[in-house]
Amino acid sequence: LRPTHRLLSCSGTVAADVKREEQSSRNVETGSEDRTPKKKFSEVQKERREQAQRTVLIHCPNKISEKKFLKYLSQHGPINSHFFYESFGLYAVVEFSQKESVTSLQNVTRTPSMETEAAIPFKSRFFNLKMKNPSSQTSEQSCIQSSNHSPPSNKKLSELLCYAESMDDQLNTLLKEFQLTEEDIKLRYLTCSLIEDLAAAYFQDCTVRPFGSSVNSFGKLGCDLDMFLDLDEIGKLNTNKTSGNFLMEFQVKNVPSERIATQKILSVIGECLDHFGPGCVGVQKILNARCPLVRFSHQASGFQCDLTTNNRIALKSSELLYIYGTLDSRVRALVFSIRCWARAHSLTSSIPGSWITNFSLTMMVIFFLQRRSPPILPTLDYLKTLADAEDKCIIEGHNCTFIHDLNRIKPSGNTETLESLLKEFFEYFGNFAFNKNSINIRQGREQNKPESSPLHIQNPFETSLNISKNVNQSQLQKFVDLARESAWILSQEDKDRPSPSSNQPWGLATLLQPSVLSSVSLAKKKRKKPASERIKNLLESIKSSSPENDTHTNGK
Ligand code: GTP
Ligand code: MG
């Protein structure tokens, strides 16, 4: 149900962010990271949230004059930025400079009168723009120029990768094509903000925050929108400021457990979205899951949304991943390529099941980068040692403390190329002792598996949990086989690489073709023992010479 977003036109502060993006990347000549100050996760969230509160979503007639549209809206105050996109109709996202402009616009907006149906009045920031006299306006319309803004097709990606100059260039190209755009990020924060308005009808002062891949720096165009209904701020204001001998508390309803409270809250919010939420369709209440949630489609933005509450640890995981993704520009390029590789070979799926999730894959890449020599990423324990009093955070008895200021984390001295890291990743996990070892990003080294699940990746905060408990042996074996075959293909290609201008798939493009790896498997099967022995020997020799077998503790 995910419609293609077609971005039509935009203006505003995009350039500044694009510049920041470029500045934070690796200097090609020196191989070192640029030292532009990086924003804290909480700063980004605060800024984006505040921006979303000044923003409105407008369903527009298909043919509209952009100039007249902006002039009309400017009556309510100056506009900071705007863009149009198509998703079952034409939509505009308009960010005003001041929040008051939104109220002013709401004050001149009416509830539609229907002939056969009845409208439930709701004063939201999601509007429908109508032409007063459509026929008189048609002649002077200037249509909005359309530019496609969805992820590239497999064909287009393959072409882009074929023409890349190096494998590093290929990985960076894939990242550039798939990463969330400025407009997509704005739309995600706006959607959360619109849902917050609805939830506020029940819980005044609540906050709806995006988490997961929408904010953790690993979001791919089209990924779902994970939302967290945060009720912690309610009633927290002024608690320390009260003076005198008394303490006031709100009268509240008590329920037997936190889980039941969560289920009750999500149940009413689910009903509310279903009955009164403009643009919210297909609402499903999944309240018996380990982490209860309400799933729905936000039709106007095209996002598949998962709303949870009492899920603060997931927000912390998002912040941790944001830090890892922002520390070194190679991290995101590698994660995006490996996620794409996994998707191309059906190792991951949008349907829940016994396969590896994107979240687990990201943890595996982080762990691998912690195991390089010298390490590219620090361990979570090290990030904890850098924390100061402000960073201290205990959630439900779990210590979630780590440093928040990225600028205080020393950059890695490791200068390996993305090409080499991709190969080493496949070799590393093609030979990993999954039967006895657990992956642990807190300590940055293998641990003995505490239980018998085929794949064990320790939850970094709830350390007794395994985030990949769902993965069965056959899915793990498929991952290992594909990793080995990919390592083998890359080692063969070294010897015989087609020139980039030959239009032949090579490097990453070859790895993303499902047929190539299955033909390797077929060839292996046909040649039976000798070929598999050859691959095994090759991998063994690579393994014995690879530095990640050394035990190192990140120099802490
Ligand atoms: P995509 O949606 O696949 O792009 O990635 P995602 O990171 O958003 O994953 P998902 O939507 O499945 O989950 C959202 C967030 O919930 C993740 O980023 C994690 O913070 C958290 N999460 C997901 N799966 C698990 C899990 O198995 N255990 C724990 N502790 N947290 C999880
Ligand atoms: Mg997600």
Token pair belonging to 361? 């894959």
Rounded distance from Cα 176 to ligand 2 centre (Å): 19
The residue whose C-alpha atom lies closest to atom 26 belonging to ligand 1 is 467
Q: Which atom of ligand 1 is nearest to the CA of 317?
A: 20
Token pair belonging to 155? 């064909």
Rounded distance from Cα 450 to ligand 2 centre (Å): 28
Rounded distance from Cα 214 to ligand 2 centre (Å): 7
pTM over 0.80: yes
* Whether the CB of 348 sits within 6 Å of ligand 1: no
- SS3 of 556, please? coil
* Whether the CB of 317 sits within 6 Å of ligand 1: yes
Q: Which atom of ligand 1 is nearest to the CA of 318?
A: 20
Rounded distance from Cα 53 to ligand 1 centre (Å): 26
Residues 360/471, Cβ–Cβ less than 8 Å: yes
* Nearest ligand (C-alpha, residue 219): 1
Rounded distance from Cα 215 to ligand 1 centre (Å): 11
Q: Please name the residues in contact with 380: beta carbons below 8 A apart, sequence gap of 6 or more.
A: 320, 402, 441, 442, 443, 444, 460
The residue whose C-alpha atom lies closest to atom 21 belonging to ligand 1 is 314
Rounded distance from Cα 186 to ligand 1 centre (Å): 21
* Whether the CB of 357 sits within 6 Å of ligand 1: yes
Residue 141 has what pLDDT?
Answer: 54
* Whether the CB of 172 sits within 6 Å of ligand 1: no
The Cα–Cα gap between 156 and 166 comes to 18
Residue 110 has what pLDDT?
Answer: 87
Residue 37 has what pLDDT?
Answer: 84
* Whether the CB of 441 sits within 6 Å of ligand 1: no
The residue whose C-alpha atom lies closest to atom 28 belonging to ligand 1 is 467
* Whether the CB of 338 sits within 6 Å of ligand 1: no
Please state whether beta strands 303-309 and 437-438 pair in parallel, antiparallel, or not at all (unpaired).
unpaired
The residue whose C-alpha atom lies closest to atom 18 belonging to ligand 1 is 212
- SS3 of 484, please? helix
Q: Give the residue among 336, 350, 365, 340 at the shortest CA–CA distance from 513.
A: 340
- SS3 of 48, please? helix
Q: Which atom of ligand 1 is nearest to the CA of 469?
A: 27
Residue 545 has what pLDDT?
Answer: 41
Rounded distance from Cα 142 to ligand 1 centre (Å): 43
Q: Which atom of ligand 1 is nearest to the CA of 465?
A: 30
* Whether the CB of 291 sits within 6 Å of ligand 1: no
The Cα–Cα gap between 34 and 21 comes to 11
In a 10 Å sphere around its CB, with 0-12 CB exposed, 13-18 middle and 19+ buried, how is residue 104 labelled?
A: middle
* Whether the CB of 226 sits within 6 Å of ligand 1: yes
How confident is the prediction along the chain (556 residues), in pLDDT tens digits per residue? 344 555 565 455 444 444 444 444 555 444 455 667 889 999 999 999 999 999 999 999 988 889 999 999 999 999 999 999 998 889 999 999 999 999 999 999 988 887 788 888 888 999 999 988 766 655 555 567 655 568 889 889 999 999 899 999 999 999 999 999 999 999 999 999 999 999 999 999 999 999 999 999 999 999 999 999 999 877 665 556 667 888 888 898 999 999 999 999 999 999 999 999 999 999 999 999 989 999 999 999 999 999 999 889 999 999 999 999 999 999 999 999 999 999 999 999 988 899 999 999 999 999 999 999 999 999 999 999 999 999 999 999 999 999 999 999 999 999 999 999 999 999 999 999 999 999 999 999 998 999 899 999 999 999 999 999 999 999 999 999 999 999 999 988 766 666 656 678 899 999 998 876 666 555 554 444 455 555 554 555 444 443 333 333 332 2
Rounded distance from Cα 210 to ligand 1 centre (Å): 12
Q: Give the residue among 194, 63, 48 at the shortest CA–CA distance from 126.
A: 194
Best residue for ligand 1 mutational test, from 307, 358, 359 (most atoms within 8 Å of Cβ) = 359
Rounded distance from Cα 351 to ligand 1 centre (Å): 13
CA distances from 166 to 155, 340, 420, 490 (A): 19, 18, 12, 13
Rounded distance from Cα 109 to ligand 2 centre (Å): 34
Q: Give the residue among 395, 228, 214 at the shortest CA–CA distance from 309.
A: 228
Token pair belonging to 454? 């085929």
Residue 350 has what pLDDT?
Answer: 86
Amino acid code (one letter) for 418: L
Q: Which atom of ligand 1 is nearest to the CA of 468?
A: 27
* Whether the CB of 360 sits within 6 Å of ligand 1: no
Rounded distance from Cα 119 to ligand 1 centre (Å): 37
Residue 517 has what pLDDT?
Answer: 63
* Nearest ligand (C-alpha, residue 223): 1
Rounded distance from Cα 348 to ligand 2 centre (Å): 13
As for the ipTM of the complex, it is: 0.96
The residue whose C-alpha atom lies closest to atom 17 belonging to ligand 1 is 212
The residue whose C-alpha atom lies closest to atom 13 belonging to ligand 1 is 212
The Cα–Cα gap between 172 and 418 comes to 9
Residue 290 has what pLDDT?
Answer: 87
Residues 45/316, Cβ–Cβ less than 8 Å: no
Phi-psi region of 396 (alpha: psi -120 to 50; beta: other; left: phi over 0): left
The 10 Å CB-count burial string (b at 16+, else e) for 176-197 is ebbbbbbbbbbbbbbbbbbbbb
* Whether the CB of 467 sits within 6 Å of ligand 1: yes
